[in-house]
Amino acid sequence: MTVTGRGPDRAPSDEREERGVTAPVIGVLALQGDVREHVAALAGAGADARPVRRPAELDVVDGLVIPGGESTTISKLADIFEMREPIDKRIAGGMPVYGSCAGMIMLAAEVLDGRPDQRGFAGIDMTVRRNAFGRQVDSFEAPVEIAGVEGEPFHAIFIRAPWVERVGAGVEVLGRVTEGPAAGRIVAVRQGHLVATSFHPELTGDLRLHRYFVDLVRAAA
Ligand code: GLN
């Protein structure tokens, strides 16, 4: 292989373009939840994926995934591991973040049915309701179409999932439940560099959402 264009006259933007075709470094917040599944899905989608639990590990990532799990626990551990302020700062600086399920709750400006002491990151202008689909239905599956993702609807798995009850003017609705008693409920959103879904694409082997996020990180880098 011949590499051309190297030399002292190369502009910094050329370097950046070249880096753009290499794998972006994407962290998965590894305080609690299904970290391994997201690392595997991100790697499958072309990222250099790694768990992130310390501020120094956060410093070197181009993007972050907040996994499913338990938002009250993630909130508590974010304080204990002193990750709250560093994550808020990176979000303010434009770092792309994708939150799935508990991760969506951690990205919501307002949470209904939360614990009074749980706190999210400086995230998406939306209100989510925890465990919204009802106590009887602990988990269920439904097709969801995502704007900007081609092909079949997602086979979405919801596990004690939140839904979105309000979105601000700057928030784009990416997907809603299309069938059953919860039809019409908002379950995927995006606000600029922040993306959130109520469901768990990392559990189905369908990498389209992770690819969507990897592309977003690449574009932002
Ligand atoms: N119910 C959980 C919470 O409130 C979310 C569940 C999940 O992430 N699968 O954080």
C-alpha to C-alpha distance for 163 and 148, rounded to whole angstroms: 20
Q: What's the 104 CA to ligand 1 centre distance in angstroms?
A: 9
Q: Which atom number of ligand 1 is nearest to the Cα of residue 101? A: 8
Measured distance CA(13)–CA(207) in Å, rounded: 30
CA distance 166 to 160: 19
What's the pLDDT band for 122 if we cut at 50, 70, 90? confident
Measure 162 CA to ligand 1 centroid, in angstroms.
Answer: 7
CATH, range 23-220: 3.40.50.880
Active site residue 101: yes
Lowest model confidence (mean pLDDT) among 8-12, 145-149, 170-174: 8-12
Mean pLDDT of 120-137: 88
Integer Cα distance of 1 and 10 in angstroms: 19
pTM of the model: 0.89
Q: pLDDT per residue over 38-50, tens digit each?
A: 999 999 999 999 9
> Taking residues 147-169, what's their average pLDDT?
95
Q: How many helices (H) and strands (E) does the chain have?
A: 7, 12
Distance 180 CA to ligand 1 centre (A): 21
Q: How confident is the model at residue 21 (pLDDT cuts 50, 70, 90)?
A: low
Given the DSSP bridges, would you call strands 154-159 and 163-167 parallel, antiparallel or unpaired? Answer: unpaired
Give me the residue spans of the domains in the chain.
Answer: 23-220
Q: What is the pLDDT of residues 179-196, one digit of tens each?
A: 888 899 999 999 999 999
Q: Could you report the per-residue pLDDT of 68-109, keeping only the tens digit for each? A: 999 999 999 999 999 999 999 999 999 999 999 999 999 999
Name all residues whose Cβ lies below 6 A of ligand 1.
Answer: 68-71, 101-102, 105, 130-131, 159-160
Of the candidates 154, 124, 125, 156, the residue with the CA atom closest to the CA atom of residue 140: 156
* Nearest Cα to Cα of residue 55 among 90, 22, 20, 21: 90
